Amino acid sequence: MGAQWKARHKEVAANARGKIFGKLAKEIMVAAKGGADIGSNSRLRLVVEQAKKASMPKDTLDRAIKKGAGLLDGPLHMEHLVYEGFAPHRVPVIVECLSDNINRTKSSMNVLFRKGQLGAPGSVSWDFNHVGMIEATPNTKDVDAEIAAIEAGAQDFEPADDGATLFITQFTDLDAVCKALPAQGFTVTSAMVGYRPKNPVTISNDAEREEVEAFLEAIDADDDVQNVYVGLAG
């Protein structure tokens, strides 16, 4: 299922697109705390590129940048929160949130995890690798992802959506690999630090898998949730 779980077909639904814009706006606001100039703020530049790829309206994008940089409504107060636990059938899950109200987010997670099990910090993260994940598209058909990974200093690579490649790095090497990939014929479209499962759980029973999917979709639908990482194979 990959390191970062994504709701099936959510990119085609109008209401889901609004949620995508909301999540991207939060990422932009947090990144813009380091400065509103995308020329000198590499983290902001990458998120802005993702927002443009998702067709975020320019007014929404510009407002998020200004709000994050403190140019609107004063300083930004946004907390990064991480929750760990299990989906049904003991599937390990890590949930990253960005929230302006910790009590609200905590309450939501307590409710959402009732069909699974909310754990203490460290309860499942030991079974994940904390890594850098870079999605990049080849500029020509004759570039070799394996050679690019080696030359750029990535640890591994795998196919991603729409012909792109996902390069896996040490989280400390994320920026260096991002800068090295263009010379290898790739354009970086997104980059983030996240979690990849070491021992994904295999579920072959369709009903059980649907139960896990429903749990994950409910988690992902929460407005405070940014990323969901799940140890599920396939």
Give the tens place of pLDDT for each residue, 205-218: 999 999 999 999 99
Q: Give the confidence band of 4 by pLDDT, cuts at 50, 70, 90.
A: low
Tens digit of each residue's pLDDT (9 = 90 or more) over 27-41? 999 889 888 888 888
Q: 4 in a domain, yes or no?
A: no
Angle at 121 between CA 32 and CA 7, to 5 degrees: 60
* pLDDT score at 6: 59
- The residue range of the domain holding 41 is 10-68
Beta bridge partners of 83: 95
Beta bridge partners of 97: 81, 225
> 90 with 170, same domain?
no
Indicate if the pLDDT at residue 78 is higher than 80. yes
Count structural domains, the chain.
3
> 136 with 187, same domain?
yes
> 56 with 36, same domain?
yes
Query: Is 124 within 8 Å of 85 (Cβ atoms)?
Result: yes
* pLDDT score at 163: 86
CATH code: domain of residue 151: 3.30.70.980
CA atoms of 43 and 30, how far apart (whole Å): 10
Indicate if the pLDDT at residue 10 is higher than 60. no
Q: Which helix (H) or strand (E) holds 186?
A: strand 186-197
For residues 45-49, average pLDDT: 85
> 58 with 153, same domain?
no
* pLDDT score at 77: 84
> 51 with 145, same domain?
no
